[in-house]
Amino acid sequence: MGAVNDFYDWVKVEETLPPKARRGRKPSKKQYFTYITQEAIIAYNNESEQHLRNKVYREYIDYPFNKLVENIYHTFKFQYFDIPYEDIKCEVVAFLNEKIHKFENGKGKAFSYFSIIAKNYLIIQNNSNYQKFKRKADTTLIDESRDVTNEMSLSNYQESLRDFVKLWCDWYDQNINMIFSNKKDILVADTVVELFRMSDNIENFNKKAIYILIRERTGLKTQNITKVINIMRKDFHKMLKSYQLSGHLFT
């Protein structure tokens, strides 16, 4: 019997049990992302039959993901998006779907894990849009004194950097377990790779922002993060130099 079928059997038993007593105030709103949602995600990841994965996603995961993104978006009041809200929500939900396979049972609550992913994605995109907005405003003000040649060179460099970052992220994904053996180090490195992959404007990342986002996802202290980042920084600059000279990560 597959993971999803086992999940449905478990849900049937759960529905016959009396509600669990909880301390504190009674929630004012019906919960949308529950322990059943988490079990559905686990079943989804463990199921090999695609039609069963689709079924459990439609019935138990799609609505919680959409509601999660909706609440985060309206809570933090992101301002620098020039596309309709529904398009933004679909984009973030799609990103959660891309990362759903990385949720591991026993490594924390699914709600916290996907909340952080959604929030960080929106923060990064919002900040990137803000930087574009500022550059556009600055360009309008200094249009007469523009240096088109330098602008083209900068544009080419940025495009090359984006291509390199994609290759670097893919390489780290494949080799992360050979570079780091400690589980905490692997978690930090994986988070850094995801942050780089999520950003389409990597130069906007500063040291403080990276540390804050990594701490939010991993729960680790700065000293646990610094060692890993230093190793990754050396690899990044070494491979970038090789890429600029040869078009490959390694000469």
Please check whether residue 79 lies inside any domain of the structure: no
Which residue range(s) make up the domain with 227? 157-251
The length of the chain, given as a count of residues: 251
Task: Compute the distance between CA of residue 48 and CA of residue 37 in angstroms, rounded to an integer.
Answer: 19
The residue assigned the tokens 């000469």 is 251
Please check whether residue 61 lies inside any domain of the structure: no
Please check whether residue 207 lies inside any domain of the structure: yes
Burial of 104 (0-12, 13-18, 19+ CB in 10 A): exposed
Neighbours of 17 (CB within 10 A): 7
Task: Compute the distance between CA of residue 216 and CA of residue 118 in angstroms, rounded to an integer.
Answer: 12
The secondary structure element, H or E, covering residue 58 is none
Neighbours of 198 (CB within 10 A): 19
Please check whether residue 187 lies inside any domain of the structure: yes
Residue 35 pLDDT more than 80?
yes
When pLDDT is cut at 50, 70 and 90, the band that residue 37 belongs to is very high
Please check whether residue 249 lies inside any domain of the structure: yes
CB 192 within 8 A of CB 214: yes
Neighbours of 143 (CB within 10 A): 8
- Does residue 89 sit in helix, strand or coil? helix
Rounded to the nearest 10 degrees, how much is the dihedral formed by the CA atoms of 186, 42, 88, 118? -40
Please check whether residue 142 lies inside any domain of the structure: no
Please check whether residue 223 lies inside any domain of the structure: yes
For the stretch 91-111, pLDDT in tens is 999 999 989 998 988 878 899
For the stretch 46-87, pLDDT in tens is 999 999 999 999 999 999 999 999 998 888 788 888 888 898
Structurally, the chain folds into a number of domains equal to 1
For the stretch 143-187, pLDDT in tens is 555 554 454 444 555 667 777 888 888 899 899 999 999 888 998
Lowest mean pLDDT among 25-29, 105-109, 231-235: 25-29
Please check whether residue 92 lies inside any domain of the structure: no
Which residues 6+ apart lie within 8 Å of 143 measured at CB? none
Neighbours of 137 (CB within 10 A): 9
Predicted confidence at residue 25, as pLDDT, reads 44
The secondary structure element, H or E, covering residue 226 is helix 222-246
